[in-house]
Amino acid sequence: MSTANPYQPLLDELVTTFDSGITKSLEWRKSTLESLLKVFTEPKNVQKWLDARIADLGGGEVVGISEIRTVKGEIVHALESLDEWAADRPAGLGDPTREVEGQDRRIVRPTPKGVTLTIGTWNFPINLQFVPVVDAIAAGNCCFLKPSELAPATAQLVYDMVAEYLPSNAFKVVVGGIPEITNVLALKFDHITVTGSAFVGKIVMTAAAKHLTPCTLELGGKNPTFVDKSADLELAANRMVLAKTHNAGQWCVDLDYILVDESVADEMTGCVVSAVKRILGGPDDQNPKNGIDKSQRWLNSIVNERNVERLKAMLEEDHGGKVCCC
């Protein structure tokens, strides 16, 4: 039975394209970015992204619109800045006297790396998949994309959009789960960008180390919120609950717990409970004046049943605390 990596031919095609030098051209980079911009500006495409995200994460269109705007902004910024980013600049090294006289000809010349791999994540499956790709294109690289299998509708749309709008000899998408990403990570890339958990980061870096491939990792963490006794507690509670309900709390800069001055702890708890009820509404509350109109479904769902059960288990654990609102 053959043990050849099924994705090696895809990578080989990207390497051939990069070696041809076509992606180093500023004209190629700009035209490719302009093509990518159509993916997020043509009305039919925008609705497809919103529908796919809702299929994966529930809720309404609010967070999806935010994701799309982020990618659009990055593309526009890259198009406006590309000439400056790609230009030669003085190295700033050597004899200062010669630099002043204009005799030092040593320069820094931005140079693309080759073929990059971007591993997307499920919590923001649009912008965290494409923002690194925008950077890779602007730098003159070919791109290999692996969207998260936990957001399958969006992952499939990533595959379809890339195939329709971007040159196939410079962009490849692989969809699937553990077997697929295992084979992808066995390949030799020139740079890897990944957003995910520390657990995922360790897996990626282990695979990358075999080829000495540099990585850019954006990994989740724990974020405390500090509230002292001088704070406007109601305002603080409103802001924290709004942040916590964004994307159902499924984002890396979300607050995880509150550290509050003991003298105002009870009052702070009451403000948070009130904010939760006001912002989320009661179980049967359909009045937008008293809470979020659930018919609009702007609040996302937890991504899958496993994570729902994980959160339920946290509520059921006895650590000497008290559930104040559920």
Domain containing residue 232: CATH number: 3.40.309.10
Query: Do residue 199 and residue 213 come from a single domain?
Result: yes
In a domain, 142, yes or no: yes
- Cα of first residue to Cα of last residue in the chain, in angstroms, is 54
- Does the CA dihedral 140-135-130-118 come out positive or negative? positive
**Confidence (pLDDT) at 288:** 47
Query: Do residue 93 and residue 57 come from a single domain?
Result: yes
Query: Do residue 169 and residue 34 come from a single domain?
Result: yes
**Confidence (pLDDT) at 103:** 60
Task: For residue range 206-265, list pLDDT tens digits in order.
Answer: 999 999 999 999 988 778 899 999 999 999 999 999 888 888 888 888 888 899 999 999
**Confidence (pLDDT) at 319:** 74
Query: Do residue 61 and residue 24 come from a single domain?
Result: yes
Distance CA 105, CA 95 (A): 11
Task: For residue range 57-101, list pLDDT tens digits in order.
Answer: 988 888 899 999 999 999 999 999 999 999 998 877 666 555 555
For residue 172 the two structure tokens come to: 């490849």
Query: Do residue 258 and residue 203 come from a single domain?
Result: no
- Does the CA dihedral 14-12-132-106 come out positive or negative? negative
Look at 77 and 195; give whichever has higher pLDDT. 77
Query: Do residue 87 and residue 198 come from a single domain?
Result: yes
**Confidence (pLDDT) at 25:** 97
Name the percent of the chain lying above pLDDT 90: 66
In a domain, 2, yes or no: no
Query: Do residue 204 and residue 292 come from a single domain?
Result: no
Query: Do residue 197 and residue 280 come from a single domain?
Result: no
3-state secondary structure (DSSP) of residue 89: strand
Mean pLDDT lowest among 46-60, 194-208, 282-296: 282-296
In a domain, 323, yes or no: no
3-state secondary structure (DSSP) of residue 309: helix
In a domain, 302, yes or no: yes
Distance CA 267, CA 47 (A): 44
Residue 267 pLDDT grade (very low, low, confident, very high; cuts 50, 70, 90)? very high
Are the CB atoms for 233 and 267 separated by under 8 Å?
A: yes
Q: Please identify, among 219, 249, 274, the residue that sits at the C-terminal boundary of a domain.
A: 219
Helix or strand (DSSP H, E) at 130:
helix 127-138
**Confidence (pLDDT) at 290:** 45
For residue 238 the two structure tokens come to: 């409103």
Query: Do residue 39 and residue 95 come from a single domain?
Result: yes
Active site residue ranges: 218, 252
Are the CB atoms for 29 and 140 separated by under 8 Å?
A: yes
Q: Please identify, among 197, 219, 241, the residue that sits at the C-terminal boundary of a domain.
A: 219
Q: Please identify, among 188, 219, 250, the residue that sits at the C-terminal boundary of a domain.
A: 219
In a domain, 103, yes or no: yes
Work out whether strand 89-90 and strand 107-108 pair parallel, antiparallel, or are unpaired: antiparallel
Task: For residues 104-118, give the mean pLDDT.
Answer: 90
**Confidence (pLDDT) at 59:** 81
pLDDT at 300 over 70: yes
Query: Do residue 228 and residue 210 come from a single domain?
Result: no
Look at 52 and 199; give whichever has higher pLDDT. 52
**Confidence (pLDDT) at 150:** 93
Domain count across the chain? 2
State the residue range of the domain holding 209.
8-219
